[in-house]
Amino acid sequence: MAKMLVGKGLILSREHGGTFRVLLVRGMSESAQSAHIEIPRPPSSFMDLRRKVSAMPWRETLTGWGIELMVPITSRNRLVGYLGLGRRLNGSRFVRDDRNLIQSLVDLSGSAIEKALIIDQVNDANRNLDRKVQELNTLFELSKEFNAGLDLQKILRLITFALLGQVGVRTYAVCLRNGPAMEIAASRLAEGEELGGILPDLAELKGPMLTSDMLRMKSYRSAAAELMRLGLHAAVPMHIQNQTRGLLLVGERLRGGRYAQADLEFLYALGNLAGISIENARLFMEALEKQKMEDELLIARDIQQGLLPEVLPEVPGFDIAAMNIPSKQVGGDYYDVLPRKDDQYVFAIGDVSGKGTPAALLMANVQAALRALAPFDQPLAAITGRINDLTSANTRGGSKFITFFWGTLDTKERLLTYVNAGHNPPMLVRSDGTVERLEEGGLILGIFKTAKPYDEGSARMERGDVLFLFTDGVSEAMNAAGEDYTEEQLLEVVRASRGMTSAGIIEAVMKSVNRHVHDTPQSDDITMLVAKAV
Amino acid sequence: MSEFKVHHREGEGVNVIELKGYLDAHTATDLETAFQRLLNDRKYNIVVNCRDLTYISSAGLGVFMAYIEDVRKNRGDIKLTNMSTKVYNVFDLLGFPILYEIYKEEQEAVRKFNEHAGPSR
């Protein structure tokens, strides 16, 4: 260069076909270093770039850098590169002698340059191999770690680290399918950017694809345009059993360069590996959730069972029996028999709307209120009002309610005094077979604070009279055709079996109910409480 | 099991993190925690001394990448020092030397921070 008084120069080495790489630059911006240049039909003789021939991008690139003369470098008659020279400092042109001198210098160096290039290529191949090994190590390491915890957030962090560390991305998004929708689970995008709208289109991707390639396909064009706008250069689906369970979207890389096929393959492997672990984590969480719900049901059942009397008290002059069969899902049935004062006994039955722990807790509330208030020497109607006030304060505005019936039985007087707060009216079956329904009372508990006092009803019980309390789990027991057992049938059975003991009556009802439902699973609690005057 | 330790020291306006052992997918969160703590405390001049770092994997590199932009946005930097050849090769292979300043000795990196900060204070 000095001899020729040239200030700028570069060497292009041929990589393959028409692809050349800038190997060396002198006197010009470093940014040209390593740049790739496509020269479709590489000329094999001197070329003066200042001569205007047809416009070609590579010529413009080189002249843009100040290169004016291109000298082919050959080794064993093969073109291995070019020497590019800029303007001479004294402004003179390259004359024939100059060209001959340059040519002989280049010829001398040709085989040395080729050797150097081969060494370069071997080094490159080694490096590529090392990088491949590194990629495999990364996949291996992640697969171990992914499955260690089955923790979705941790898996996402690890994917992020691999994208950042192995691939060197700056912008990315990890999207996961959630039901029919595809959602961003982790991302680094330009501030305030979102890409929700295009994700469904990308769910159809069969394999990793560059945004620039998608742009040429009709079905992806709009999605690709959006990816382009967000600086995302490739989309990689996460497949599990041919279904897209997520997407890796990757943008600009910190060390520059396009995504090569090998990069996409790595990302695809990473995505599929992560997809399986994410799926496992999801299944694990579901199983955990289900276990939690089952545990909760057990707690609810414990609470509910704890509310029911273990042993019924002896009530002089009366034969008492009860039955409670909780349904699988745990409803909120409740019954109670407890001494009040002197010769009085409390009988109660209730049914809370809803199921599970909330229903069981509300029932516990009612029971506590009843047991606390029943001993006070106040009219039943007043006590019922207080119970309602307490429970409606606890239900906070009526999302839950309780149907409730309770009464006191004076065993001396054989007098039943009762309040029915919206419960299925109990049956009082007289020994002669006539039936009274006990309906006096008022609104169900838990909806409003008591505005209108409850009414009280009363009935005297003679020998052989049967008081039958039940919940709708009995009257609405359903068969396979979805038909209720009905109160009419229930009443007939109770009337027909009124001569039996209380336990016998319950047994007769259960038999009849079972005949009706056959083997249809029980969907609601079944509760009965019977008191027969003897 | 691979062992990894992060030790944090603070001196003259620079925070030094010493790494020891294996930095891989399994231990990456430990380093993440250390960086997160520094960022929470608004400490952005960070030197990572790799003298006792025996191995680093891509996931380990990912942690550096996850924080570098935030750190630089706050006019700080993460500079790396005392790397073994083996560890440096991984950095090099994945093209990281152009993204990070790497020094032979910790003092050089610390000096670099102080030079930088000197005149502006």
Rounded to two decimals, the ipTM of the complex is: 0.88
What is the C-alpha separation between A343 and A13, in angstroms, rounded?
112
Q: Enumerate the residues of chain B whose CB falls inside 8 A of the CB of residue A144.
A: 25-26
**What are A57's two structure tokens?**
């991008």
Q: Which residue ranges does chain A devote to CATH 3.60.40.10?
A: 308-533
In a domain, B119, yes or no: no
Nearest CA in chain B to A136: B58
In a domain, B86, yes or no: yes
Question: Which range is most confident: A13-27, A181-195, A502-516?
Answer: A502-516
Q: Where are the beta strands (DSSP E) in A310-414?
A: 318-325, 332-339, 344-352, 402-410
Nearest CA in chain A to B90: A134
pLDDT of A30 strictly over 90: no
Cα distance from B121 to chain A (closest Cα, Å)? 31
How far apart are the two ends of chain B, measured CA to CA in Å? 47
Task: Provide the pLDDT for residue A419.
Answer: 97
What is the C-alpha separation between A300 and A360, in angstroms, rounded?
6
Architecture of domain A308-533 in this structure: 4-Layer Sandwich (3.60)
Instruction: State which fold the A9-123 domain adopts.
Output: Beta-Lactamase (3.30.450)
State pLDDT tens for residues B66-99.
999 899 999 999 999 999 999 999 988 888 888 8
In a domain, B95, yes or no: yes
Task: Provide the pLDDT for residue A2.
Answer: 65
Task: Provide the pLDDT for residue A229.
Answer: 87
Amino acid present at A78: R
Number of domains in chain B: 1
- Give, as one character, the DSSP assignment of residue A534: -
**Contact assignment for B26 to A145 by CB distance below 8 Å:** yes
**What are A118's two structure tokens?**
């081969």
What is the C-alpha separation between A101 and A290, in angstroms, rounded?
85
Task: Provide the pLDDT for residue A147.
Answer: 77
What is the mean pLDDT of the segment spanning A190-210? 80
Q: Where are the beta strands (DSSP E) in A383-525?
A: 402-410, 415-421, 427-429, 435-437, 441-442, 457-460, 466-470
Q: What are phi and psi of A480, to 5 degrees?
A: -60, -30
**Contact assignment for A158 to B25 by CB distance below 8 Å:** yes
Percent of chain A residues topping a pLDDT of 70: 96
State pLDDT tens for residues A152-162.
888 899 999 99
Kindly state whether A127 is in contact with chain B, defined as any CB-CB distance less than 8 angstroms.
yes
Q: Which of A46-55, A83-92, A189-198 has the lowest mean pLDDT?
A: A189-198
pLDDT of B119 strictly over 60: no
Task: Provide the pLDDT for residue A278.
Answer: 86
Under DSSP, is residue B74 helix (H, G, I), strand (E, B) or coil? coil
Residue with token string 């001993």? A375
Q: Determine contact, residues A387/A420, Cβ cutoff 8 Å.
A: no
Size of interface A-B (CB pairs under 8 A): 86
Task: Provide the pLDDT for residue B121.
Answer: 38
Q: Which of A77-81, A117-121, A519-523 has the lowest mean pLDDT?
A: A117-121
What is the C-alpha separation between A404 and A375, in angstroms, rounded?
18
State pLDDT tens for residues A289-347.
888 888 877 777 777 778 888 899 999 999 999 999 888 666 688 999 999 888 899 99
The CATH number of the domain holding residue B54 is 3.30.750.24
Kindly state whether A130 is in contact with chain B, defined as any CB-CB distance less than 8 angstroms.
yes
Which of A129, A159, A161, A267 is most worth mutating to test chain B (most B CB atoms within 10 A of its CB)? Answer: A161
Q: Which of A183-187, A524-528, B32-36, B61-65 has the lowest mean pLDDT?
A: A183-187
What is the C-alpha separation between A300 and A297, in angstroms, rounded?
5
Task: Provide the pLDDT for residue A396.
Answer: 66
Residue among B25, B65, B93 whose CB faces A142 most closely: B25
Task: Provide the pLDDT for residue B102.
Answer: 94
Task: Provide the pLDDT for residue A129.
Answer: 86
Confidence of residue A277 (pLDDT cuts 50, 70, 90): confident
In a domain, B38, yes or no: yes
Residue among A130, A165, A170 whose CB faces B61 most closely: A165
Residue among B57, B89, B95 whose CB faces A138 most closely: B57
Task: Provide the pLDDT for residue A430.
Answer: 96
**Contact assignment for B28 to A158 by CB distance below 8 Å:** yes
Full strand arrangement of the beta sheet holding A435-437: A318-325, A526-533, A466-470, A427-429, A435-437
pLDDT of A381 strictly over 90: yes
Q: Enumerate the residues of chain B whose CB falls inside 8 A of the CB of residue A163.
A: 62
pLDDT of A445 strictly over 60: yes
**What are A119's two structure tokens?**
């060494």
What is the C-alpha separation between A178 and A288, in angstroms, rounded?
18
Average pLDDT, chain A: 87
**Contact assignment for B65 to A130 by CB distance below 8 Å:** no
What is the mean pLDDT of the segment spanning A14-41? 83
Q: Residue B58 half-sphere exposure, CB side, CA atoms within 13 Å?
A: 30
Percent of chain A residues topping a pLDDT of 90: 34
Confidence of residue B43 (pLDDT cuts 50, 70, 90): very high
**Count of CB atoms within 10 A of residue A248's CB?**
26
What is the mean pLDDT of the segment spanning A62-88? 86
What is the mean pLDDT of the segment spanning A484-489? 94
Q: Which residue ranges does chain A devote to CATH 3.30.450.40?
A: 9-123, 150-283
Question: Which range is most confident: A118-127, A251-260, A287-296, B81-90?
Answer: B81-90
pLDDT of A123 strictly over 90: no
Nearest CA in chain B to A153: B29
Q: Domain of B94?
A: 4-112
**Contact assignment for A138 to B59 by CB distance below 8 Å:** yes
**Contact assignment for A161 to B24 by CB distance below 8 Å:** no
Q: Which of A261-275, A395-409, A490-504 has the lowest mean pLDDT?
A: A395-409
Residue with token string 């600009």? A252
Nearest CA in chain B to A160: B62
- According to the CATH classification, is domain A150-283 in 3.20.20.370? no
**Contact assignment for B94 to A148 by CB distance below 8 Å:** no
Residue among B62, B69, B89 whose CB faces A161 most closely: B62
State pLDDT tens for residues A491-500.
999 999 999 9
In a domain, B117, yes or no: no
Under DSSP, is residue B38 helix (H, G, I), strand (E, B) or coil? helix
Question: Which A-chain residues 504-533 have CB contacts (< 8 A) with chain B?
Answer: none
Cα distance from B108 to chain A (closest Cα, Å)? 25
pLDDT of A261 strictly over 90: no
Task: Provide the pLDDT for residue B2.
Answer: 57
Question: For residue A446, which of A406, A405, A395 has the smallest C-alpha distance?
Answer: A395
Q: Determine contact, residues A49/A69, Cβ cutoff 8 Å.
A: yes
Task: Provide the pLDDT for residue A530.
Answer: 97
What is the mean pLDDT of the segment spanning A89-110? 82
Question: Which range is most confident: A44-53, A174-183, A260-269?
Answer: A260-269
Task: Provide the pLDDT for residue B120.
Answer: 42
**What are A32's two structure tokens?**
């040209």
Q: Enumerate the residues of chain B whose CB falls inside 8 A of the CB of residue A148.
A: 26
- Give, as one character, the DSSP assignment of residue A178: E
Kindly state whether A299 is in contact with chain B, defined as any CB-CB distance less than 8 angstroms.
no
Pairing type for strands B45-56 and B14-23 reads parallel
Q: Enumerate the residues of chain B whose CB falls inside 8 A of the CB of residue A154.
A: 29
What is the C-alpha separation between A46 and A54, in angstroms, rounded?
17
pLDDT higher for A114 or A238?
A: A238
Angle between helices B58-73 and A96-149 (to 10 degrees): 100
Nearest CA in chain A to B66: A164
What is the C-alpha separation between B17 and A18, in angstroms, rounded?
49
